[in-house]
Chain A
Amino acid sequence: MKPAPFEYHAPTSVDEAVRLLGMLEDAKVLAGGQSLVPLLNFRLARPAHVVDINGIPALDRIYERDGGVAVQALVRQSDAQRSELLQKLCPLVPEALKHVAHQVIRNRGTVVGSIAHADPAAELPAVILALQGSVRALGPGGTRDIPAESFFMGVLESALAPDELAVEVWFPAFTGPHGLREESRRHGDYAMAGVVRAGDRLALFGVAPTPVTADPNEPTRDLQPSADLEATPGFRKHLITAMTRELFAA
């Protein structure tokens, strides 16, 4: 299990990274690598170019912006988990991070990378969707903010263009009732199903090609989860109903 050959690029500024992404055919951005490198090892991903953004300075800040908190592309999940600013203004984010893989993975994995990777079974995409946050993308034409509602397009597919770099994500401040529940066969695995609450808003993960919002009173309406070795569609729906009830009873 070794990655297929690729050309390695290590830009030292976001502008250089965007220039490379615009110039190179079939390039993949490498941040924490905790999702991408397994895909490379399995050769499920075989990009011709890997653009490693870890050498870009001053891209690891967590700061207050527009009534919320922005988390830049090189903020490690373990640092976000410990961030006092996030704990104060967006406590759902550090709470959700406890459920993301394991401490050793979080030491390297990034918040932005996990969202840009758009894994439908991952926690953070559902969190940003529940909170109605956004992703700031930098491309050749400048920056744009993509609302979470229109960011997730399909399995591992986001609204980012091939020549755009997700430079930060933004979570609006929210200290109302919130929480995350998930069920997995083993601790730290991807969840069979999960639910995120932010006030009256509910987001589900692991049960559709993207994270989805749902009505807390009828969370499984129109839901058609897939089957795999771990869970049937019916069991997934049962989990969603039970966990939603738990989350909104609290």
Chain B
Amino acid sequence: MRVNGIASPLPEDPRTLLSDHLRHQLRLTGTHVGCEHGVCGCCTVLLDGKPVRSCLLLAVQAADHDVTTIEGLAPDTAALHPIQQAFHEAHALQCGFCTPGFVLAVKGLLDEHPDPTDEQIQEGISGNLCRCTGYANIRKAVRLAAAAR
């Protein structure tokens, strides 16, 4: 498996979830783990460019695939990715726990709909929970990121 462009060994135990493998073995703790059954969206990563739940994927299933985590989204350490920048500018995070999942879900949304309607934004972020309930600013950030493209 390639994680953020770097070839990486698979775990020995096939029952290891991708979310746990990323956090515990690779120390990529930007992938957050909330519910571990696919409801909260915090653990969203990109698998071959498409957002998926890393808690619903065995790490061994990512063999021969590209995984992008929040750590691999920005092109370098100097600048934020435009979506991250938009979240920053729109104050689209409070505690930040849900943010990595939201940012990667929005990446998938904007790849599919570069100029999303309000309904598409609503639908696109509906699989992610923000318990600070900061959805209004998250929607603002999506519009900002779309405009910045």
CB within 8 Å of B: which residues of A?
Answer: 1-8, 10, 30, 33-34, 37-38, 40-42, 50, 52, 54, 78, 101-105, 107-108, 187-188
B1 at the interface (CB under 8 A from A): no
Q: Residues of A contacting B14 with CB < 8 Å?
A: 6-8, 50
Q: Is the CB of B15 within 8 A of A104?
A: no
Q: Which of B20, B61, B127 contacts A104 (CB 8 A)?
A: B127
* Total inter-chain residue pairs, C-beta < 8 Å: 86
Dominant SS at the B interface? mixed
Per-residue contact bits, chain B 25-63, to A (CB 8 Å; 1 contact, 0 not): 000000000001110010010010011110111101100
Q: Is the CB of A38 within 8 A of B56?
A: yes
Q: Which of A2, A10, A102 contacts B17 (CB 8 A)?
A: A2
Q: Is the CB of B53 within 8 A of A105?
A: yes
How many whole Å from A167's CB to the nearest CB in chain B?
20
Q: Residues of A contacting B126 with CB < 8 Å?
A: 102, 187-188
> In the assembly, what is the distance between CA of A75 and CA of B47, in Å?
16
Q: Which of A4, A5, A50, A104 contacts B108 (CB 8 A)?
A: A104
User: Which one of B17, B58, B109 has the highest number of Cβ atoms from chain A below 10 Å of its Cβ?
Assistant: B58
Query: Contacts A6-B15, A54-B61: A103 and B56 contacting too (C-beta < 8 A)?
Result: no
Q: Which of A7, A10, A33 contacts B56 (CB 8 A)?
A: A33
18 A–B contacts from the bound complex (CB under 8 Å): A6-B14, A8-B15, A8-B60, A10-B60, A33-B57, A33-B61, A37-B17, A40-B15, A41-B17, A41-B37, A42-B37, A50-B58, A52-B60, A103-B109, A104-B41, A104-B127, A105-B53, A108-B53
Q: Residues of A contacting B51 with CB < 8 Å?
A: 103-104, 107
How many whole Å from A229's CB to the nearest CB in chain B?
16
Q: Residues of B contacting A34 with CB < 8 Å?
A: 38, 53, 56
Query: Contacts A41-B36, A102-B127, A104-B108: A4 and B57 contacting too (C-beta < 8 A)?
Result: no
> In the assembly, what is the distance between CA of A3 and CA of B14, in Å?
10
B76 at the interface (CB under 8 A from A): no
Q: Residues of B contacting A188 with CB < 8 Å?
A: 126-127
B100 at the interface (CB under 8 A from A): no
Query: Contacts A8-B60, A33-B57, A102-B126: A1 and B37 contacting too (C-beta < 8 A)?
Result: yes
